[in-house]
A and B are shown apart, each in its own frame.
Chain A
């Protein structure tokens, strides 16, 4: 639990997908969300599923991790599937039992829509499983760089995000310390009437805010002393490098979209 709060769902590895530039992964995920809607028949869905499965296999992430991502939403998918199967009254009737009538169009429709949803979740989970939050931050800063022209504070946003990521574990520890300190003074966090728990919450929040504020002040002074003057001309320790692999993956996504466009009915 604590670990998942700090590094998210990232699973360390050296697979092809892990080594891709975060920009490639972000762009691919972004376009994938649109491409999914191109598929509308057996051929296009098969193609899309094969493409997604090969990405999952290339990532070398145990399948159980991806399946875990499906769990919270599983009943929605089953419900959707059943609803489409039972409610669509088009095409040829396959089965009849009392008031239950099942048509082939309904089965197809329900199956396609559930599949589309599963594919969407699989791809977005794959990104968080193979990319560290700090890589995502770097990638987003680079991708959004053109928007600087319209005064969007891209560098500032990325900096704030990295500061956040740096402070999440620190503040977690701080929170635990405060909870223990207040419990020692007799504050009950886990039980008691609603109003008491609200008050317990404040005995955690106030010290947390004050200490966070002090940490922020110290960091701001330290940055000022070291001459931080914004993103202009700043150099980076970790450089993003675009390799032939990235070009290859982007090309594969483009060819996938063209094929889907040609094969859709």
Chain B
């Protein structure tokens, strides 16, 4: 870890910049509450993971959120939403990366993205129930929701929202990946040469 490759370092920096820009182009999905936003900033993170290993993807997710927090700020002051976004990002890209890595084919990538979506949606539901929604209660001073109320919000909004978001990213990423996979493989090969 101490001796990180310069190429990887620079690549993570540049891809975090793309990720940051794509994060600014976020939009809400009509039936869901407006604090849940869709953006395609996970796509460059996943490309970085494919090019330089899973850790690169984690760094892109981390940097995009740190940059966003210090440049755009958080409506709640304390970066609860940014931490949630970071967790959603890594629970999506890490499973996708490892499943894809087993087969290294287009089908493997599709399977990876679907598994990534499922893992992300489930993990985010659990984390929201135990960590993020209570954290909002503490910092916003919103009256604490009872357990059944929280569960209703998780099941009716957070779980389906993350599933839809994952599906949208899957579609966009597959469209990109189909055209890029040969180029990606060539870059990975020359990087390891």
A206 interfacial contact with B, CB 8 Å: yes
User: Is A117's CB under 8 angstroms from B13's CB?
Assistant: no
Q: Are B10 and A124 in contact (CB under 8 A)?
A: no
Q: Contact between B43 and A216 (Cβ–Cβ < 8 Å)?
A: no
Give a binary string over B140-178; 1 marks a CB under 8 Å from any A CB, 0 the rest.
Answer: 111100000000000000000000000010011001100
Closest 4 CB pairs of A and B: A163-B13, A8-B71, A113-B141, A120-B77
CA distance A37 to B62 in the complex (A): 27
Q: Please count how many residues in chain A sit with their CB below 8 Å of the partner chain's CB atoms.
A: 67
Q: Does residue B192 face the partner (Cβ distance < 8 Å to A)?
A: no
Is A205 a contact of B10 with CB atoms below 8 Å?
Answer: no
A206–B183 CA distance with the chains assembled, in angstroms: 11
With A113-B141, A164-B20, A171-B21 known as contacts, the answer to whether A73 contacts B75 (CB < 8 A) is yes
Q: Which chain B residues (23-77) contact chain A, with CB distance < 8 Å? A: 24, 40, 43-44, 47, 51, 59, 62-63, 66-67, 70-77
The docked-state distance in angstroms from the alpha carbon of A213 to that of B184 is 11
Interface pair A116/B18, CB less than 8 Å apart: no
Docked-complex contact A163 and B77, CB < 8 angstroms = no
- Which residue of B4, B75, B168, B179 contacts A206 across the interface (Cβ within 8 Å)? B179
Instruction: Please state if B63 and A202 are interface contacts (CB–CB under 8 Å).
Output: no
> How many residues of chain B are within 8 Å of chain A by beta carbon?
52
Which segment of A42-50, A80-88, A96-104, A250-258 sits at the interface? A80-88
Residue from the list A79, A153, A157, A201 in contact with B40, Cβ < 8 A: A201
Are A223 and B10 in touch, CB under 8 angstroms? Answer: yes
Can you name 19 A-B pairs with beta carbons within 8 Å?
A4-B71, A33-B77, A76-B140, A117-B139, A124-B73, A153-B1, A157-B62, A161-B63, A168-B17, A171-B17, A171-B21, A202-B179, A205-B40, A205-B43, A209-B180, A216-B10, A216-B13, A216-B14, A219-B14
A59 interfacial contact with B, CB 8 Å: no
B119: Cβ under 8 A from any A Cβ: no
Task: Check A123 for interface membership: any CB of B closer than 8 A.
Answer: yes
Q: Which residues of A contact B102 (CB under 8 A)?
A: none
Cβ-Cβ contact count across A and B, 8 Å cutoff = 171
**Chain A residue with minimal CB distance to B59?**
A160
**B180 touching A206 by the CB < 8 A rule?**
yes
CB neighbours (8 Å) of B171 from chain A are: 198
| Chain A residues whose C-beta falls within 8 Å of the C-beta of B6 in the assembled complex | 220, 223-224, 228
Given A128-B73, A164-B16, decide whether A156 and B43 contact each other with a Cβ distance below 8 A. Answer: no
Question: Given the known A-B contacts A124-B74, A164-B14, A206-B180, are A117 and B9 also in contact in the complex, defined by CB atoms under 8 Å?
Answer: no
Known contacts A5-B24, A216-B7; decide if A161 and B73 are in contact (CB<8 Å).
no
Cα A20 to Cα B86 in complex, Å, equals 30
- Bound together, the chains give a CA A113 to CA B136 distance in angstroms of 13
CA distance A131 to B71 in the complex (A): 10
Contact of A167 among B2, B7, B14, B51 (CB under 8 A): B14
Chain B nearest CB from A149 CB (Å) reads 11
Question: A114 an interface residue at 8 Å Cβ cutoff?
Answer: yes
Docked-complex contact B67 and A216, CB < 8 angstroms: no
Is B131 among interface residues, defined by CB-CB distance under 8 A?
Answer: no
| CB pair B78 A33 closer than 8 Å | yes
Q: Is A215 an interface residue (CB 8 A)?
A: yes
* B contact residues around A165 at 8 Å (CB): 17, 67
A55 at interface, CB cutoff 8 A:
no
A87 CB to nearest chain B CB (Å): 7
Q: Whose C-beta in chain A lies nearest to the C-beta of B40?
A: A201
Which residues of chain A are within 8 angstroms of B139 by Cβ–Cβ distance?
117, 120
B12 within 8 A of A: yes
Verify if A121 is at the interface (C-beta below 8 Å from B).
Answer: yes
Interface string of A104-146 (1 = CB under 8 A from B): 0000000001101100110111011001010010000000000
| Docked-complex contact A208 and B70, CB < 8 angstroms | no
